[in-house]
Structure 1
Amino acid sequence: MALATPVFAASTRGFDVLHYAATLDLDIPAGEVRGEATLRFRADEAPLPRLLLDSGELVIDSATQNGKALAFERADGKLSVTLSEPLRAGAETRVTLRYHGKPGHGLEFAAERNEVYTIFSTSQWMPSVDAPDERATLELALRLPKQLQATAVGQALPSRRLEDGRVEHRWHLRTAMPGYVYGFAAGPYQHAVQSHGRNRLHYYAVDRSPPELRQVFAATGDMLDFFAGRAGLAYEGDYQQALVARTIGQEMAGLSLMSETYGERVLDDPTQLGLMAHEAAHQWWGNRVTCAGWEHFWLNEGFANFMTAAWLQHAQGEEAYQQMVTGWRTRVLALREKGTDRALVFPDWNKPSADDRTVVYQKGALVLHLLRQELGDEVFWRGLRAYTQAHDGRSVVSADFQQAMEAAAGRSLQPFFEMWVYGVGGEV
């Protein structure tokens, strides 16, 4: 069904990045990165005169195409590279960038722990396209002191010893993924590994022994199995989790980061598994099925919050699920009292407030709960599974989810979506 409400589709860029290959020299005491990245990309439907990328706080030292120096400009976190000649529609080429920087965010250096890790903003350590609808494969190499271990997205490749005594760790992400789920962590980690079916589960931390790591992450396999069942899509590859110095938690492609403090909390109270489940749920809702633009961010975060509650219902019982629902409802009522409640689909997502994030995370989850009540479990889960399977590896807008749920229900859900997704909503 065509919606009367705009869906705010992502704008066209004129090109499609197909692959990134990056090598990073990481100086943890200095908090500095030096890198070289080669981007392979294709022009879309018209000749492409320049490449426009996000570059954060990075300083660009050079840009080349087939060994020839290119002109470039950098301003307001954007990098514009003028190609040697306009790239004809459908043609591919490569551009290599050399750069350095001390980013204030996105790449976190915890010098006191001899640790470095990423948080969301890939363009702070590699010039790239930040938009969630841009998917590409990745080759990543990290050059680090030999005493450090590292984990990153993709399949680990053999490392090699450098002449200066450091080690170059390498990975290849062979499935195209949005750039914001690229990342890594490195430090003097202890490491535990467990087999789970055809997959291996890897755990890393500075402060936790391997037995403690297995205790912290004991429920990981059950989470992956539960989400795979609800999605109708098996988890693919190894899954890695690391406890780092400080983070609210981050999902990446096959890798999740949480804080050492969170790991300690789980050891003290093994029921405190919500954050771990949230990041695991993103492996399907967020990574494999991704919002086409941040205006539809609730399709990532509202889904991960709701699926966390669904797993808690499965693992800890109905009371745990209802506690989550009550929390969402309380947060939405607080927004309404402040006058900051709004529709789930945003006209833009340029400077989201804390209240905007509450809409996306907590209200988004509550709306999924209300839809579950509206449809009943059999229809709801069948529709969600069909939606996830149909859009695996793709970018979506809210209308895609509506269409899948309408197909499962066998009727229009326009009134529900107009009220709760495109409107502020009714009584909670």
Structure 2
Amino acid sequence: MIVRACALLLLPLLLACTVAQAAPSRGFDVLHYAVALVPDIAAKRVQGQQTLRFRAGQPLPTLTLDVGELEVTAVMQGNRVLAFEQGDQQLRIRLPTPLKRGAVAELRILYQGAPTFGLEFDPARDEVYTIFSTRQWMPSVDAPDERATLDLSVTLPPALLATGTGRALPTRTLADGRHEHRWRLDTPMPGYVYGFAAGRYQQATQQHGAVQLRFLSVDRTPAQLRSVFARTGDMLDFFAARAGLPYRGDYQQALVASTIGQEMAGVSLMSEAYGQDVLADPSQTALMAHEAAHQWWGNRVTCASWQHFWLNEGFANFMTAAYLQQAQGEAAYQSQVQRWRTRWEAVRAKGADHALVYANWDSPSGDDRTVVYQKGAYVLHLLRSELGEEVFWHGIGDYTRANDGRSVVTADFQRAMEKAAGRSLQPFFAQWVYAAAAAAR
């Protein structure tokens, strides 16, 4: 009890720290990326060029971007070649003249590379697709608080189909017969939800209200794809109702060679093995629900820094269970809750529990991920029990709508839930969010 009292006294300081962690100043804001990629699937390499439009937030002599393992070959402003250096997976560009605060400029970057992750190649399937993180296939500010619009094109052999983030534009046929697939993302989104997938896909489409659904796979027939993703429209309806925000745009789901699941803006990737699991047992819809939930909690309402990652992943896990409760019954929900608690208690038992808000998220362990994904979802379940159905879901909806298109910290969520409850929730947040369980009891 003494330790818990101390936690309550420290809460204002903890809240101040979460604000400070929200977004380190970079000195500029990316407005738009225009990226053209040419993957070589057989060689597992990529060539790219990018136009970057940005605004200086302060006098700006240099620009720093994340580039992973890519090799930048040239940086230009108009016809002028700019000096740059690479190191520690970053690109530092020296501007010819420091930009004044508020000035907007464009740069063109040429690059190539053979990423070992982030851009996944499977030559046997004639497939290429992106997973976390974006810096491995395009120079970018690879941080969740940086939102920008995107034009993306990927040049591929004519036999391949593709899906990508944004509104599909007409495919161009080039002089050599290759196809340039193009997408435009009109709403600014975090760079980590940019991406694409391409392969010798079979496809199925389906209209669900105003949303066109599209399903892709190398291994599954169109009929099998419709069976695998039969619940997709229902999921989107459920999450839209809980958020109080309709889904916008079209939604595409692809089964790729191997992934634990990857959300993008308007696209979700899952593995072919998962698709087979769903065909064998149609109740195994949790993963696709998790990725669909991210279209609201993660993509539209985004943690401002990885220290608050539980606002993405804990939320997606919890909303998945809430969907299963509606679709499959109370036992399905309680089964998810028990899994979360069991996973978290194992971490706590070995002394590895942690507050949901991290001081840093540079090298997360498996235990850290359990805290963010499983404990984060379990804490939302406990908050639901504390507040009751009406107040809890009212708060979730208000929080989501108020922060649509924004980057948030945990204090934003706490304020929304306190407003819905009409009272302070400091004791709950001090015990379950801002302190490890061992210190909170």
TM over 0.5: yes
Alignment of 1:313-328 (within 5 A): 313-328=325-340
Aligned counterpart in structure 1 of residue 54 of structure 2, from 41, 44, 47: 41
Is the contact between residue 65 and residue 91 of structure 2 (CA under 8 Å) also seen in structure 1?
yes
Query: Within the alignment, does 1:27 sit opposite 2:40 as a pair?
Result: yes
Quick one: distance in 2 between partners of 1:103 and 1:4? 41
Which of the pair has the greater relative contact order for Cα pairs under 8 Å at 6+ separation? 2
Alignment of 1:38-117 (within 5 A): 38-44=51-57, 46-117=58-129
Is the contact between residue 22 and residue 408 of structure 2 (CA under 8 Å) also seen in structure 1?
no
Quick one: distance in 2 between partners of 1:126 and 1:343? 33
One-letter amino acid of the counterpart of residue 365, structure 2: S
Aligned counterpart in structure 1 of residue 153 of structure 2, from 93, 116, 141: 141
Quick one: distance in 1 between partners of 2:93 and 2:13? 39
One-letter amino acid of the counterpart of residue 386, structure 1: D
Residue 169 of structure 1 aligns to a residue whose secondary structure is: strand
Write out the 4+ residue segments of structure 1 that deviate beyond 4 Å after TM superposition: none
One-letter amino acid of the counterpart of residue 48, structure 1: L
Quick one: distance in 2 between partners of 1:97 and 1:366? 44
Quick one: distance in 2 between partners of 1:91 and 1:193? 44
Displacement of 1:336 after TM fit? 1.1
1:175 matched to which residue of 2?
187
Quick one: distance in 2 between partners of 1:369 and 1:138? 36
One-letter amino acid of the counterpart of residue 18, structure 1: L
Residue 208 of structure 1 aligns to a residue whose secondary structure is: coil
Quick one: distance in 2 between partners of 1:341 and 1:211? 45
**TM-score if structure 2 supplies the norm length?**
0.96
Alignment of 1:181-260 (within 5 A): 181-260=193-272
May I ask how many residue pairs the two structures share in their alignment?
A: 427
Residue 13 of structure 2 aligns to a residue whose secondary structure is: coil
Displacement of 1:161 after TM fit? 0.9
Is the contact between residue 133 and residue 395 of structure 1 (CA under 8 Å) also seen in structure 2?
yes
Query: Within the alignment, does 1:401 sit opposite 2:413 as a pair?
Result: yes
- 1:257-306, Cα deviation, whole Å (9 max, x unpaired): 00000000000000000000000000000000000000000000000000
1:364 matched to which residue of 2?
376
Aligned counterpart in structure 1 of residue 131 of structure 2, from 102, 113, 119: 119
> Percent same amino acid at aligned positions?
65
Quick one: distance in 1 between partners of 2:143 and 2:79? 28
Residue 3 of structure 1 aligns to a residue whose secondary structure is: helix
Displacement of 1:4 after TM fit? 2.3
Residue 129 of structure 1 aligns to a residue whose secondary structure is: coil
1:376 matched to which residue of 2?
388
Quick one: distance in 1 between partners of 2:211 and 2:333? 28
One-letter amino acid of the counterpart of residue 353, structure 1: S
**TM-score if structure 1 supplies the norm length?**
0.99
More helix by share: 2
Quick one: distance in 2 between partners of 1:67 and 1:178? 30
One-letter amino acid of the counterpart of residue 202, structure 1: R
Alignment of 1:264-413 (within 5 A): 264-413=276-425
Displacement of 1:3 after TM fit? 2.8
Quick one: distance in 2 between partners of 1:121 and 1:50? 23
One-letter amino acid of the counterpart of residue 219, structure 2: D
RMSD: 1.2
- 1:220-253, Cα deviation, whole Å (9 max, x unpaired): 0000000000000000010000000000000000
Is the contact between residue 25 and residue 144 of structure 1 (CA under 8 Å) also seen in structure 2?
yes
4-13 vs 261-270, which moves further: 4-13
Displacement of 1:66 after TM fit? 1.6
Unaligned stretches of 5+ residues in structure 2: 1-10
